Structure 1
Amino acid sequence: MRRPWRRARGANSPRLQAVLPDRPRSAERLPLRLTSPKQSAFRAPRGPEDSEETVTKTLVTSALPYANGSIHLGHLVEYIQTDIYVRFLRSCGEEVIYICADDTHGTPIEIKAQQMGISPERLVEGIGAEHRKDFADFGVSFDHYDSTNSPENREYAVMIFERLKAGGYVEKRPLELTYCEKDKRFLPDRFVRGTCPKCGAGDQYGDVCEKCGTTYAPTELVDPRCAICGSAPLRRDSEHYFFKLGEFTEFLKEWAAGEGTLDPAVRKNLLGGWLGTGLADWCISRDGPYFGFEIPGEQNKYFYVWLDAPIGYISSTERYLKAKGGSQTALAYWDERAEARIVHFIGKDILNFHALFWPAVLKGAGLKRPDKIAVHGMLTVNGEKMSKARGTFINARQYLELLDPSYLRYFYAANLGPSPEDLDLSLSEFRLKVNAELVNNLGNLCNRALSILATKLGGKLSGERDQALIDDALATVPVVRAAFAKLEYRNALRAVVELGERANKFVQDSKPWEKVASAPEQARRDLS
């Protein structure tokens, strides 16, 4: 049972409070004794020629959340979407592991820890514990959740870097960068603020204007200043490593065109966008001070977070296999010849890293590329970006203080498809959909049937059942299975809801509650 609903202490979410769904009837644990062994409806029958060795191993990942803040409802779109897919594969009898980790490196974490007067390690440890609890309370069923700040991730980052160097895909050359004399550090683009050179908007980042969308170099900003101390920065040269991404253009075109690798809309944008206009070399190193892995043989040079972060998929796989025991390494999944399927779930805001940089790095290092990248859109609330000022920027914990997580899981699933269109959390629609479909249809069906069976009919099912309704349900199974396999969750749930409506009509028409005393076996048959 969930805790009683109550107003969250300190939760700035008045609009969420205002749309609480109707509270469903209390449902006790029902001691039903099934007459046949429990079996997944989605599990395909296996013939004598099938064996565990013939089952394809699947590794599923969600993007690694950055370890400098709390999980919010926008993050949860992806983790709920991934978790549903993983649960579907498990219900089909597939051998699947679900891996994730906190992305723990970079300047923002290093500076935030400094401002808090603690070490970066302590900061990411605390954030990691918070993330794990939030995900667990939303029912996200990771097989392993790790951190990119691990010895294994350092080892794989160095291994991949050395392989890329040996293959001639990395070169070192000088780069002009923004430098703060007062803070004694080179500044990432996001730590330079100034006036947009195109539209004149003030207080914009050093790489993109949030008002007009123009991208530019920090040197183009008007009146630039350090975002840490506010002083005017200088320009200095520094030696850095570059990954020759452009050399992988033809490979990436072929990979992106692969059947099932990307949604058609995503593939079209990728081929017509970045891959169509040419790929520039990618700087994969950063100057210290920096929280991350030092580059071997260098002084005060570190791997850029977007090099070691996706490598966290590999190191987390390794740590999962180590925890299980045995002799397998991550290469059981990530070796170029591995007979495994790798599926990444990501948001469209990080598509370029996962669909360009990451496959190219894996190719250059002789490792397996992802078989599928599922890309989702962004979350809006009432048709607008989440906003603290409007009370619609809602953290996972704030939501959990008010509502059952199954409501949000259901709403997201009922609106998700395979394409990267944005998902709108309309609070009025949220209430209507949860009440009408989850509570009054599916929840009510289970409650009205199981409560009578458990309390008045001894908790036993009948060996005889209405075959027409059973055939209807069985005919729905392949429809639902096909929809889940294609990530068409909304279609899968629509089929389930329609089946629930037909089942509720059957119960209403048969009125088993009127037969309990006079014809208990007929009532049991109707409810079974």
Structure 2
Amino acid sequence: MSTKKFNRYTITAALPYANGPLHIGHIAGAYLPSDIYVRYLRLKGEDVVYICGSDEHGVAITIGAKKEGVTPREFIEKYHQLMKGAFEEFGISFDIYSRTSTPTHYAMAQDFFKKIHADGGLIEETSDQYFDEKEQLFLADRYIIGTCPVCANENAYGDQCEKCGTSLSPKQLINPRSTVSGAVPVLKPTKHWYFPLDRYEGWLKEWLLEGHKADLKSNVFGQCKSWLDQGLQPRSITRDLDWGIPVPIAGGEGKVLYVWFDAPIGYISATKELKPNDWEKYWKSDDTRLIHFIGKDNIVFHCIIFPSMLKAAGDFILPDNVPANEFLNLEGDKISTSRNHAVWLHEYLKELPNRKDELRYVLTSIAPETKDADFTWKDYQQRVNSELVAILGNFVNRVMVLTWKYFDGKVPAEHELPNTNEVRARILEKYNTTHEELDKSVAEMTKCLNDFRFREGQFHMMNLARLGNKFLADTEPWKLAKDDMEAVGCILNYALTVVGNIAIACEPFLPHTAASLKQQLNAAASGIDWSEFWKKNQLIRVLAPGHQLGKAELLFRNVEDEEVDIQIDKLRKTKETNQAKKMSETTPAPQENAIKEAIQFDDFAKLDLRVGKITAAEKVEKADKLLKLSVDLGFEQRTIVSGIAEHFTPEEVVNKLVTIVANLAPRKLRGIESQGMILMAENAEGKLQFVNPGSDFELGAIVR
């Protein structure tokens, strides 16, 4: 961690590209870590600006707009609003969420270019560039792929091979092809302006590798060193496009600024929008600490290219740290926007609207801070249930309920508890031990926050609840209530102190939970300065004796199997759709009445098919496709949940004779245990019909 004294902080989070929605990989990589850190700085009373916005230029925007049949402006508006809304609802607390299509940004990016150009800091050069004749456009480096000359990876990009990490130029690729059309591109001459990165190589080694070696995370330092060891080359900072910021000098007609020259300047232009009169002190004062939060795929731009641009432009400060995270995978596979293999933030917020902090907690618990991590729904369920519910929620609720039970919801007095008997001696011992351990956890949490180790910091925050639970279990106030209410009061007074300190400590990590805790504690009426917690980095007194608490409410609820099954099933269906699409592209379509693959008789013999009668039916709440059926098998009654509500009303199916699979393993659907499956036939139009055994069969008869 930097030891320099700073008077203000400029915190940036990577500008998300406005060509799709946000997924949990984005959140875990840049936005949740930065939000935790900024909330911590604000709680300490620091002067901080938290900057982000949509990155809205580049070839990907024009391609995406073309595919959707809209203009680039309409395309970016759609995704800008989607991302901005999701960030706000989730609780990412930007001071400003701007965009790179604003007049302020256009002017600042062009001024940057003109300043560097006027100082002789750019190279003008005509060279052969790859051109897609089918799409009639020059191809940006990232839209050319081919075989890497170093490791033979067949899908290396025109600027870098992501398999071996080698820095490349498009002309180095073997068998290049356009990612836009798949065609083999041709070389055509075009004029561009280049930023001479090679001129900054020596300075970068001194400033970055020597000056910041102790501060940078190992993954960041390693990638930067690899780039610098390979040697830097001039990079083109203009493109032949009609969407973007026009090159602002003579001869630049029909050309725009390269998106990776334009985009990071968005941090500065957004700050100017936020602070029009004094934005410069956040970018040009030596006592300002600049920190970029990004994913590992953006390391080179924020550690090498953008710092070189800032130095070339003059009196800007340089980043003091770039705490980049690795990638988050999903259910053992890479998150993929093209395959729709992702947990989309806006969908999560719609489907699980009251579980914002649960997602924050899980993503921080598995944060890919030093290596790639894997998100699974079962792990999500386990962490919420066994940690948030069973540890944090349980401790808070026990303390609140006991205080209401024994003291009518008022903070009990803290008596001097003389060591007069064995029970009190044990209480005093537990109090002293617990207090010491709690102070250690607070100190460790704060150290982790300062060092960008948020996963470990959250663990120490949760340790306050673990220690609180142990203190209650060891002192057992419910057993003392008959004989020693003075001791009960002392125990609950201290337990409420722990709850109050948890409310403060969890705010960077779980802001919605912190708000709920403060409401339950009636913190607004406490009359005590809770900010002392962050100044002292130890437990503080938060509630005075006699303070009236608010209503006790559960902070969290268990995640049920059904909730995660729905999410897992959604991913499974997406995977099946992708596989089917892939198969359809390589194999002829099957005949409409084709018979499925043959099975053995022993496989069929495992089925237990029975005749039943539907005696009652009702729609399942909040499930358009499901009916809850009561089925009489003669020897027993079964409940079966069937997806036939779009074809039949409950009244239509009552008294129907049906054939059911009786030995299908039970499964919960929408909280209802389904004990079998109804057999249905489907015609060419998709209409369902019951497989009716006929009225001559007794209920429970075996179908062979």
Query: Shorter-chain-normalised TM-score: which range?
Result: 0.7 to 0.9
Given the superposition, is the C-alpha separation of residues 481 and 225 from structure 1 closer, same or farther in structure 2, using an over 3 Å criterion?
closer
Give the 5 Å matches for 1:231-310. Answer: 231-256=183-208, 257-259=210-212, 262-266=215-219, 268-270=221-223, 272-297=225-250, 298-310=252-264
2:370 matched to 1:420? Answer: yes
Give the 5 Å matches for 1:132-151. Answer: 132-151=84-103
Determine the structure 2 residue equivalent to 1:180: 132
Give CA deviations for 1:484-525 in whole Å, capped at 9, x if unaligned: 111222332333333322211222333344566876665443
Could you tell me which of 464, 467, 480 is aligned with 1:499?
464
Give the drift of 1:282. 1.1
Q: Is the 8 A contact 2:395 2:468 kept in 1?
A: yes
Highest relative contact order (Cα 8 Å, sep 6+), 1 or 2?
A: 1
| SS of equivalent to 2:12 | strand
Q: Distance in 1 between matches of 2:152 and 2:320?
A: 44
Determine the structure 2 residue equivalent to 1:18: none
Determine the structure 1 residue equivalent to 2:68: 116
Determine the structure 2 residue equivalent to 1:166: 118
Q: Distance in 1 between matches of 2:265 and 2:249?
A: 17
Q: Distance in 1 between matches of 2:162 and 2:45?
A: 46
Q: Distance in 1 between matches of 2:339 and 2:59?
A: 30
2:67 matched to 1:102? Answer: no
Could you tell me which of 289, 296, 308 is aligned with 1:341?
289
RMSD: 3.1
Q: Distance in 1 between matches of 2:118 and 2:147?
A: 42
Q: Distance in 1 between matches of 2:308 and 2:237?
A: 13
Q: Is the 8 A contact 1:415 1:489 kept in 2?
A: no
Letter matched to residue 237 of structure 2: I
Given the superposition, is the C-alpha separation of residues 383 and 464 from structure 1 closer, same or farther in structure 2, using an over 3 Å criterion?
same
Q: Distance in 2 between matches of 1:305 and 1:191?
A: 13
Give the 5 Å matches for 1:35-434. Answer: 56-77=7-28, 78-192=30-144, 217-219=169-171, 225-256=177-208, 257-259=210-212, 262-266=215-219, 268-270=221-223, 272-297=225-250, 298-322=252-276, 327-328=277-278, 330-335=279-284, 337-366=285-314, 367-386=316-335, 392-400=341-349, 401-402=351-352, 404-416=355-367, 419-434=369-384
Q: Distance in 1 between matches of 2:176 and 2:230?
A: 29
Give the drift of 1:61. 1.0
Given the superposition, is the C-alpha separation of residues 184 and 217 from structure 1 closer, same or farther in structure 2, using an over 3 Å criterion?
same
Q: Is the 8 A contact 2:328 2:334 kept in 1?
A: yes
Given the superposition, is the C-alpha separation of residues 261 and 238 from structure 1 closer, same or farther in structure 2, using an over 3 Å criterion?
farther
Given the superposition, is the C-alpha separation of residues 423 and 262 from structure 1 closer, same or farther in structure 2, using an over 3 Å criterion?
farther
Letter matched to residue 295 of structure 1: P
Given the superposition, is the C-alpha separation of residues 516 and 135 from structure 1 closer, same or farther in structure 2, using an over 3 Å criterion?
farther
Taking structure 2 as the reference length, the TM-score comes to: 0.61
Taking structure 1 as the reference length, the TM-score comes to: 0.80
Name which of structure 1's ranges 162-171 and 194-203 shifts more when overlaid on structure 2.
Answer: 194-203
Give the drift of 1:193. 5.5
Q: Distance in 2 between matches of 1:260 and 1:84?
A: 24
Q: Is the 8 A contact 1:62 1:344 kept in 2?
A: yes
| SS of equivalent to 2:342 | coil
Give the drift of 1:201. 7.7
Could you tell me which of 462, 478, 482 is aligned with 2:443?
478
Given the superposition, is the C-alpha separation of residues 371 and 388 from structure 1 closer, same or farther in structure 2, using an over 3 Å criterion?
closer
Q: Is the 8 A contact 2:10 2:283 kept in 1?
A: no
Give the drift of 1:427. 3.9
Give CA deviations for 1:83-130 in whole Å, capped at 9, x if unaligned: 111111122222222111111111110222233232222221221111
Q: Distance in 1 between matches of 2:89 and 2:390?
A: 24
Give the drift of 1:307. 0.6
Letter matched to residue 492 of structure 1: G
| SS of equivalent to 2:189 | strand
Q: Is the 8 A contact 2:413 2:489 kept in 1?
A: no
2:410 matched to 1:460? Answer: yes
| SS of equivalent to 1:296 | coil
Name which of structure 1's ranges 144-153 and 65-74 shifts more when overlaid on structure 2.
Answer: 144-153
Q: Distance in 1 between matches of 2:196 and 2:19?
A: 30
Q: Distance in 2 between matches of 1:271 and 1:397?
A: 34
Q: Distance in 1 between matches of 2:312 and 2:214?
A: 19
Q: Which runs of 5+ in 2 are unaligned?
A: 416-427, 494-704
Q: Distance in 2 between matches of 1:183 and 1:388?
A: 23
Determine the structure 2 residue equivalent to 1:14: none
Give CA deviations for 1:66-86 in whole Å, capped at 9, x if unaligned: 000010010011211111111
* Alignment: residue pair count: 468
Give the 5 Å matches for 1:1-12. Answer: none
2:441 matched to 1:487? Answer: no
Determine the structure 1 residue equivalent to 2:571: none
Letter matched to residue 301 of structure 1: K
Determine the structure 1 residue equivalent to 2:497: none
Given the superposition, is the C-alpha separation of residues 258 and 208 from structure 1 closer, same or farther in structure 2, using an over 3 Å criterion?
closer
Larger-Rg structure = 2
| SS of equivalent to 2:248 | coil
Q: Distance in 2 between matches of 1:217 and 1:159?
A: 28
Given the superposition, is the C-alpha separation of residues 201 and 165 from structure 1 closer, same or farther in structure 2, using an over 3 Å criterion?
closer
Q: Distance in 1 between matches of 2:192 and 2:342?
A: 38
Determine the structure 2 residue equivalent to 1:511: 476
Q: Which runs of 5+ in 1 are unaligned?
A: 1-53
Give CA deviations for 1:324-346 in whole Å, capped at 9, x if unaligned: xxx32x211112x4421111111
| SS of equivalent to 1:273 | helix
Name which of structure 1's ranges 217-226 and 115-124 shifts more when overlaid on structure 2.
Answer: 217-226
Letter matched to residue 330 of structure 2: V
Identity of counterpart residues, as a percentage?
Answer: 34
Name which of structure 1's ranges 203-212 and 234-243 shifts more when overlaid on structure 2.
Answer: 203-212
Q: Distance in 2 between matches of 1:343 and 1:474?
A: 29
Given the superposition, is the C-alpha separation of residues 103 and 456 from structure 1 closer, same or farther in structure 2, using an over 3 Å criterion?
farther
Q: Distance in 1 between matches of 2:38 and 2:341?
A: 29
Q: Is the 8 A contact 1:416 1:490 kept in 2?
A: yes
Given the superposition, is the C-alpha separation of residues 206 and 251 from structure 1 closer, same or farther in structure 2, using an over 3 Å criterion?
closer
